Structure formats: structure tokens, C-alpha cells
Amino acid sequence: MAATDIARQVGEGCRTVPLAGHVGFDSLPDQLVNKSVSQGFCFNILCVGETGLGKSTLMDTLFNTKFEGEPATHTQPGVQLRSNTYDLQESNVGLKLTIVSTVGFGDQINKEDSYKPIVEFIDAQFEAYLQEELKIRRVLHTYHDSRIHACLYFIAPTGHSLKSLDLVTMKKLDSKVNIIPIIAKSDAISKSELTKFKIKITSELVSNGVQIYQFPTDDESVAEINGTMNAHLPFAVIGSTEELKIGNKMMKARQYPWGTVQVENEAHCDFVKLREMLIRVNMEDLREQTHSRHYELYRRCKLEEMGFKDTDPDSKPFSLQETYEAKRNEFLGELQKKEEEMRQMFVQRVKEKEAELKEAEKELHEKFDRLKKLHQDEKKKLEDKKKSLDDEVNAFKQRKTAAELLQSQGSQAGGSQTLKRDKEKKN
Amino acid sequence: MSKGLPEARTDAAMSELVPEPRPKPAVPMKPVSINSNLLGYIGIDTIIEQMRKKTMKTGFDFNIMVVGQSGLGKSTLVNTLFKSQVSRKASSWNREEKIPKTVEIKAIGHVIEEGGVKMKLTVIDTPGFGDQINNENCWEPIEKYINEQYEKFLKEEVNIARKKRIPDTRVHCCLYFISPTGHSLRPLDLEFMKHLSKVVNIIPVIAKADTMTLEEKSEFKQRVRKELEVNGIEFYPQKEFDEDLEDKTENDKIRQESMPFAVVGSDKEYQVNGKRVLGRKTPWGIIEVENLNHCEFALLRDFVIRTHLQDLKEVTHNIHYETYRAKRLNDNGGLPPGEGLLGTVLPPVPATPCPTAE
């Protein structure tokens, strides 16, 4: 890989110069490692498998601890992912472990879309990393990497072959994540059936073109062990957190009436192999593959989707500038258009409002005029009435004075008579 | 599927799962701390070994630039540092080659190996610096070169199909050679360091320190430190990048006592007390390069190579390069930080270096 990079550079005109003494840069890997140790590592595992296959138990067994979580029921309406992060510490190494588990996988009646939430979750992690990488001000070296480094696919121990759901899901996931298939609850299968099952599974995977994760064999120190392990895939595992006393040691095991299955016994199951491979030998390689292969692929697809290209059809390199320029102009043009639209709408609205207000004003004026007219009519009427009343009053007064005159004349004559009568009464 | 991990809650609340998947970048949940030592060995610490193996396979790049007037012993010092002929000495130029009219930048790469670790060392020499009569702006070609390396790296990083290992030509460390006048820093020194301490890690070095006595040396160093501080020049290790208390105390000691290192370089060996040592022979004695009583070369070597090599690279990558990148992407119309690369335009590489003043 990159050892050849340096070798290539040597060929390109850099000479190898012999050292005349101890310089001291062989401490460089130590410096690097110390830095990483102080920052801590992170590792994210995704467990995909049907409900009840022992995913949580296996995680507990692998990491020697009891993680939180309740077992899921079979009645989930859709596939969901449940994710938990734990800080593990061993000697001076701190590991941020994230375990993501599928809940409800394989329980629905219609499983066509079961793989979708998983793929979306993995893509979302890549997307988050990509966003961070594309930011102007970014802090990549302290970024908590949430991309999935390893996917443990739990195969049900039917003993026959892979289910079609398994094939479909694995096919969708193989280009996005490192898949390590494992046979769960393998104490349900006998040894002979197991070998046949494994062969069947590997042949089915090959014939369907599913690329599972191969342990790397290019580094001499691990090539041998990785090579042999590759032949044992998929691992048949058993998980158990219960410790039983066997011989004179406490071991993790499952007790049956017909015997005890020991988890860490290589003759009983491949758990030890899985732990070796996953944690003790290849953890770094898993992380690297995720970053350099799966993430780069995602990034490339995503950027191409957005319209960026490295070379145009004539395979002249497209300058990034031009692409950005074009995109930016497009974007600006859109913005301008939107602005225009908004402005137009605003003007329209103002016009409408104005018209309304004018209408209202007109109405008010009319009303005022009407009322005024009414008022004037009323007033006139009242004045007429008043006038007529006055006339009547005058007429009455006249009649009254005339009547009084007459009466006073008459009473003078008759008045004396009344006086006489009164006098007679008195007497 | 639960995007946006919830905080660590009790078991009862665990069943609260977000119903519909929403593409939100997953935020890490507050981690539950578990000490696995109590429960049996898992093997997590093997990751250190795995990492070491991986880095040894990958190999390292290191680019060191030496700046200073001619005759200060730059090439000799670099050869002494790396115990090999990595730098061609000016004295071995042909007669026909004149002193350059402007500052030239010469980068020569070598591959050296030690203890299974392969390193590609590039020594960038700057002949002509400070040698003209009028030295105005003689740091500009150097600044331009440094920014060009950042630009190269940025272009590679922004590519759609990028290489697995982007070749790193960025200058990780710049050794600036101060002339041992014994008085103070020259205006040229101050100007250069002022401009460049913002784009690259500068390590000031007092050259040809065998011309000063011990008292003169310590006085000169104090004066230099004072001047650098007064002028606001932050040399490596910069105060602001100390990550934790341990780093701070260690670096403080270096900053306040040892730097700038007063060094003597030599590639000739002499016999002293039965041992063969690198040194300079004078009528009045042999100056041993690696003797701490004679000069501080050993301190410089340990500092640069044995303890802080990785840190030099990291500060260059995480801080100087990121500053350059942010500036470059922001140059286009003040987009607020945090806005993505997409939707911005990278202006053409400016002919003059990007302004380094914030």
C-alpha cells in the first residue's frame, strides 16, 4: 500500500541515504500512538439480525460487560435502530464503543423495506462526516467518528441455507460497510451440519456476489492467522454472560441437561476466533477500510450526484472553479428570481390593499353624505312642523284673546247678577 | 430508527424509539463509563500495536525548511541533525554559480530508514535569503512557497476521486537561523518571523554558537526571547496550542529556558577521550556537537525529532492548514463559517500570497 508509496518515491528520484548514527526518529510511531491514546479511540459496531438471535448477549460476552437495554418484542411495526455509546477503559487505552442494534428486523409480514432503515442509518453517518469535512471551519481531529466500522450479520441457525432476506440485506450493505457474517445460537447445530451449513452459506454469498469483509493478508505478521481465519468464515458463535464452575475455573457457559457448552472453548464454538479477529487483530484495519474505501465511495457518489466532476466528457480536467462558478451563478440566479417574485408579490399586495382602502373611504363618504341629507331632511321636517305649530299657537292665541274679550264683555253684564246672588246667599 | 441518540436513560425509557427515520447527523450519546478491567481481559489495548504496525507500514513524510543568511551553517546543521548528507552545502557550489539574485527555493527529498521506520525527509533550502543589498520583501517567495504547498494539498483533498494517501509537501517546520551577533535581532529577522509565524511553525536557532561565551549566550538568548515577545511573534511550540497541563508545563520550560537553541553543527568526527564524536577542531580545543556543556544541539535534536516530530506535523495539519483552508474558502464574499464548500466559488490562486494577518 503506502510502503510502496515510499518505494515509488525512491524510484522517482529520491535517493535512500544511509544514516551515520542514531538519529532518533524511530520513536515516531510511539509519538503518534501516544497522541492517539490520549485522544482515545472510537469503534462502532452494527448488529443486524432477527429478533431473538442473541445480538445483545453476544455484545455483552464480547466486551465482558452488561450493556443496558431490554430485549425487544416481536411486535415492532418496522425496523428501527437502537444505538448506545459506552466508554471502555483497559490499561491506559480508552475506547468509545458504539453498538447499534436493529430492532424488529425480520418480524414484519412484509419485509421488502426492512433493509432501508439500516442503509439510511449508515448513510447518515457518512453524511455527517462529509458535512463536517466540507465545512469551512472544521475540527476534524476532535470529531467523534460515528461511521460504522463493522457490521456483524447474524444468520439464523436453520442449518439449510441463507434466507432471502439475509441475501437481500447483505447485498445492499456490502458496499457500505464491512460485513462479518456470523451464525448465531450455533449450539443448535451439530458439528457435521455446521460444516455443511458454512459451505452452503459461503457458496451462496459468492454466487450472489456479496462481498463480505476479508481479513487483510498483506502484512506478514498477521497474514497467516488472517488467512486461516478467512477460511473459517462465517463464525459460529454462542453468547453467554452466565459463569459456571467447570473443573476448577469459572467460565462463561450455557448449561443443558445433556452437557455444558463453553463459550471460550474453541472446540465448541468460534467465539474466541471472532474476538481475536474483531478486536485483537483487525480493529484498526476495519476502521481504515471504512474510511478509505466505504467512505470514499460514498463521498464520490454524493459529490458526483451534486454535479461535481473531476473531468468532463472530453477528459480534460474540469477545474473545480468552473463547476463552483456555474453552481454559484445558478444559485444566485435562483435567489434573484425569488427576490423578484417576492417583490412583485409585495407590490401586488400593496396595490390591493390600497384599492380596498379607497373603496372603504368612498363608502364612508357616501354614507356621510347620505346621513347628512337625512339629517337635513329631518331638520326641515321638524322646522315645518314647528312652523305649523307656531301658526297654530298664534291662531289659538288670537282666538283666545277674542274669546276672552267676548267673555269679559258678557261677564260684566252677568257679573253683577252673580254678585247679587252671592250677596243673597250670604244673607 | 433512532437518529439523534438520546441521553443514557434507565431501562424503562429505552423503549422510546424514534418512529420514523429522519436523516439527522447522529450526535453521540453521553457515554456510560465502564471499567472493563474488573470483568476480564478484552484486548482493546492491542489497538496500540495495530496502529503502530499500520503507521510503520505507511511510512512518514517530514518537510523541514531552513532559512537564514548564507554562511550561517544551515546545511551543515541539517546534515548533523539527520546524520547524513541530506543537504548540499553552499561551499560545494561550482565557481560559475553566483549568489542568487532573489530568494530561491530548493527542495530535495531523501528517504531515510531507522529501526524499521521509513521517513521521506525533504529539506527545503532558501539560498539568497537576506543576501542582497535590498532585502525588502525577501520573505515573500518563501511565504508563497508555503502557501503553494497548502494549495496543493487542498486541491487534492477537494478532489472527488482522491488518492488514498495525499502526498504531504507542506512545510512542517521552519528553522530560522539567527546570526550570533550577541546584540539583538535584526530588523530582517523580526520582519520575517512576524510574517511567517502565522503560517508555519518557526523554530528560531542561534547559529554558530561557538563564537559566544556562556554568559554572552544566555544574555543573548534572553534578549532574543524578550524581543520576540515584545513583537508578538509566536514561535513553536505556540502557547495557544498547548492541549493540557502536562503539555503546557513541558512546553513552558522549553519556551522560557531553552529556546532559541544555540547550536553548533559539524559533520566531521574527531577522537575525544577515546570516543569518536562529531565536533569542530580549533586551536584551543575541540567543540563537541553533542555535548550539552558545549552547545545545545542535542536539545534541538531531541526536541525536533525525538519528542515533537509528530506534534509539528499535527500542528501544521490541524491548525496552519485549516486556517489556510478556511481563509481560502471564505475569500469569496464572506460566507459565514460553517457553510459548506458547495455553493462557494474558489477564486483563482492569487498571484500574491494570501494575506496572513487576521
- Summarised one tens digit per residue, pLDDT across range B267-294 is 788 887 888 888 888 888 888 888 888 8
The confidence score (pLDDT) of residue A113 equals 82
A371 confidence band (pLDDT: 50, 70, 90): very high
**Residue A327 vs residue B328, higher pLDDT:** B328
Interface test with A, best of B11, B14, B38, B42 (most A CBs within 10 A): B42
Which of B8, B43, B165 is opposite residue A2, by nearest beta carbon?
B165
- Chain A residues whose beta carbon lies within 8 Å of the beta carbon of residue B325: 136
Would you place residue A384 in the very low, low, confident or very high pLDDT band (cuts 50, 70, 90)? very high
CA atoms of A241 and A244, how far apart (whole Å): 10
- Of A18-32, A202-216, B82-96, give the lowest mean pLDDT range: B82-96
pLDDT at residue A414, as a whole number: 66
| Closest CA in chain A for residue B21 | A117
Instruction: Tell me the domains of chain B and their CATH numbers.
Output: 61-88+96-263+292-330 (3.40.50.300)
Mean predicted confidence (pLDDT) in B258-263: 84
Interchain proximity A83–B343, CB inside 8 Å: no
| pLDDT band, residue A14 (cuts 50/70/90) | low
Categorize the per-residue pLDDT at A388 as very low, low, confident or very high, splitting at 50, 70 and 90.
very high
* Distant-in-sequence, close-in-space partners of B280: CB < 8 Å, separation ≥ 6: B210, B264, B266, B268, B286, B287, B289
CB–CB of A306 and B161 under 8 A?
no
pLDDT > 90 fraction of chain B, expressed in percent and rounded: 3
Q: What is the pLDDT of residue A66?
A: 74
- Amino acid code (one letter) for B182: G
Question: With an 8 Å Cβ cutoff, are A26 and B117 in contact?
Answer: yes
Residue A280 has pLDDT above 50, yes or no: yes
Closest C-alpha among B146, B325, B318 to residue B241: B318
Taking every pair of C-alpha atoms in chain A, what is the biggest distance, in angstroms?
Answer: 178
What is the per-residue pLDDT for B168? 87
Q: Which of A374-383, B30-39, B181-190, B288-297 has the highest mean pLDDT?
A: A374-383
Which residues is A41 bridged to in the sheet? A95
Does B86 sit within 8 Å of A86, measured CB to CB?
no
CB neighbour list of residue B113: distance below 8 Å, 6 or more residues apart = A16, A19, B119
More confident residue, B6 or A271: A271
- Quick check: B98 pLDDT over 70? no
A/B interface, count of CB pairs below 8 Å: 311
Closest Cα in chain A to B14: A69
- Residues A396, A400, A401, A403: is their CA dihedral positive or negative? positive
**Which B-chain residues 183-222 have CB contacts (< 8 A) with chain A?**
none
CA distance B320 to chain A (A): 12
Q: What is the mean pLDDT of chain A?
A: 82
Task: Note whether ipTM > 0.95 here.
Answer: no
pLDDT digits (tens, 9 = 90+) for A40-50: 788 899 999 88
Grid coordinates representing A104 are 424488529
- Please tell me whether the overall predicted TM-score, pTM, comes out greater than 0.90 for this model: no
How close B183 comes to chain A (CA, Å)? 33
Q: Residue type at A130?
A: L
Given a cut of 60, whether residue B266 has pLDDT beyond it is yes
Question: Average pLDDT of A55-80?
Answer: 78
CATH class of the domain comprising A36-304? alpha beta
Q: What is the pLDDT of residue A322?
A: 59
Q: What is the pLDDT of residue A1?
A: 37
| Residue A173 · residue A42 · CB < 8 Å | no
Q: Is the pLDDT of residue A86 over 50?
A: yes
